[in-house]
Amino acid sequence: MRYSEDHKAQTHQRIIEEAARLFRRDGVGATGLQPLMKTLGLTHGGFYAHFKSKDELVETALRHSAEQLAAASSELSLAGLIKGYLSSAHRANPGEGCPLPTISAELGQRGAPSMTTDELIRDRLSTIEAGLHGERADEQSVLILSAMVGALLLSRSVSDPELSDRLLKTTRRLLIEQNTSPNTA
């Protein structure tokens, strides 16, 4: 049975969206193609009608995640961005949030860091820098992004809920206090 081009495009998009969610939640290495396709009610062999390789899917899914992240934060102030990023909701829902805490180390260790990760980081830095004032905003944006990703990663890695909350709350409070004027917080 032949499917319409529209059906193929919809299936392609479903694969990207589910892969993006699983890569953010579980990581690239822990996300197998067979379980991914099975989750969508598709066969493993059908994957290759849409992508040449898992690496191609990783880049496409990362790009999709980056676009979602940019759209979600486009209207936020710097304080709003920090609050949302360092929230218990973001911590509890890695499949819906920023891919950086889950996949950065993994992609770097694979020996071929992702060009899409470069784009994502540059976009995040630019968004943060736009909310800063002063001659060292470019340097400060690196510090803020690194603190946010690190605090979120650490908060997800501990078993003690109080410690996890402390990591988020302290980092959030200090970043906002040190990088926003009282009128924007």
**What CATH architecture applies to the domain 5-179?**
Orthogonal Bundle (1.10)
pLDDT tops 70 at residue 1: no
DSSP letters, 3-49, are: PPHHHHHHHHHHHHHHHHHHHHHH-STT--HHHHHHHTT--GGGGGG
DSSP letters, 61-98, are: HHHHHHHHHHHHHTT--HHHHHHHHTSHHHHH-GGGS-
For residue range 144-162, what is the model confidence (pLDDT) as tens digits? 999 999 999 999 999 999 9
For residue range 20-31, what is the model confidence (pLDDT) as tens digits? 999 999 999 899
Confidence of residue 185 (pLDDT cuts 50, 70, 90): very low
Q: Is 4 exposed, middle or buried (0-12, 13-18, 19+ CB in 10 A)?
A: exposed
Note the pTM of the prediction, 2 decimals.
Answer: 0.88
Q: Which amino acid is at 86?
A: L
Rounded Cα gap, residues 85 and 100, in angstroms: 11
Token pair in block for residue 65: 């995640």
For residue range 48-100, what is the model confidence (pLDDT) as tens digits? 989 999 989 999 999 999 999 889 888 899 999 999 999 999 999 999 999 99
For residue range 59-70, what is the model confidence (pLDDT) as tens digits? 999 999 999 988
Confidence of residue 181 (pLDDT cuts 50, 70, 90): low
Question: For the chain, what percent of residues have pLDDT higher than 70?
Answer: 94
Burial 101-120 (b: 16+ CB within 10 A, else e): bbbbeebeeeeeebebbeeb
In this structure, are residues 113 and 107 in contact, taking their beta carbons and an 8 Å threshold? yes
In this structure, are residues 105 and 88 in contact, taking their beta carbons and an 8 Å threshold? no
**What rounded mean pLDDT belongs to the chain?**
91
